[in-house]
Amino acid sequence: MLVATIAGATTITVASGGHAFGTTAAAAGADGDGLYIIGNVNEENSGARNVNTTRSAAQTNYTQIFKTTISLTNTEKESNLYGGADLPYQRAKKGTEHALDIERAFWFGEKKYDVAGTQGFPRRATGGVLEFINSNSAYVQDQGGLLTAPDLNTFLREAFTYGSTSKMLFAGGIVIQAINEIARGQITMRPNETSYGMKINDWQTAFGRISIVHNPLFIGDYAGYAFLLDMDCFKYRFMNNRDTKLFTNVQAPDVDGEIDQYLTECGLQRVQAAKCALLKGVEG
């Protein structure tokens, strides 16, 4: 049919004779019929059409201050230990813990601006992927049981509706186990190649390519979770001069020891949730 005007958010006006604008005979529409917009048709010598512009809705998030402290007495620091000096070991260990704190926030954190700090200063929490998908109408499939091949196909069909044809699947062990059974012989390991610092398994499906990552942070209640993400939707952001740094000797002058501290003020930029999807509730 030929539409003459858009009368309102839920109403269109069909042009005279527009119910049969083509070879299909005119027929009354039924409640619940789908509407598919083919395009526009214009007469010869017509002027420019009205301008319609779409804009992305504004998305906000906060940067969060992460701190991880290392403390040794000077006696311990200067002792000859069997495994070597303790300070380098503690710095490496605490550096890993600091990175894990940030990653957990990026997955499970919820954004918060808190003005009730004990010293009168605000504190902010950055929102993560889970909050972003749950609160922005992205596709969420709550499996509530075993993951079957038809169920997985439904998830992939919906998840690849928008965005790239190559996406990353970050999954817990239960989901990985189910995919291994369903896609046996179809998943290939990229030889000697990593992306985002992780080893990647590739699965080429009819919907698109999936790069599969087993995330060891998805345990317990999250072992049955999987996030299929378009990586263009996310960026690591940090305040100027506040990316991860190790500050040494931050102890008071009279302390007979050393206190070091990792500090990062960073957050997760998140846009276009519809390009991503969440599978949860998969049981083994």
pLDDT tens per residue across span 22-66: 898 988 888 888 888 899 999 999 999 888 787 777 789 999 999
**pLDDT attached to residue 270:** 96
Task: Determine the pLDDT at residue 201.
Answer: 86
92 within domain boundaries: yes
In a domain, 262, yes or no: yes
Residue ranges making up the domain that contains 116: 64-282
For residue 3, being part of any structural domain is answered with no
DSSP labels for the chain?
--EEEEEETTEEEEPTTGGGSSSSPP----TT-----------TT--PPPP----PPP-----EEEEEEEEEEHHHHHS--TTS-HHHHHHHHHHHHHHHHHHHHHHH---EEE---TTS--EEE---HHHHHHHTT-EEEEEEE---HHHHHHHHHHHTSSS-SEEEEEE-HHHHHHHHHHTTTTEEEEEEEEETTEEEEEEE-SS-EEEEEE-TT--GGGTT-EEEE-GGGEEEEE-TT-SSEEE---S-TT-SEEEEEEEEEEEEEE--GGG-EEEEEE--
Would you say residue 128 lies in a domain?
yes
| Number of compact structural domains in the chain | 1
- The reply to whether 68 falls in a domain is yes
User: Is residue 169 a part of any domain in this protein?
Assistant: yes
Which stretch of 10-14, 70-74, 168-172, 183-187 has the lowest confidence by average pLDDT? Answer: 183-187
Residue 48 lies in a domain: no
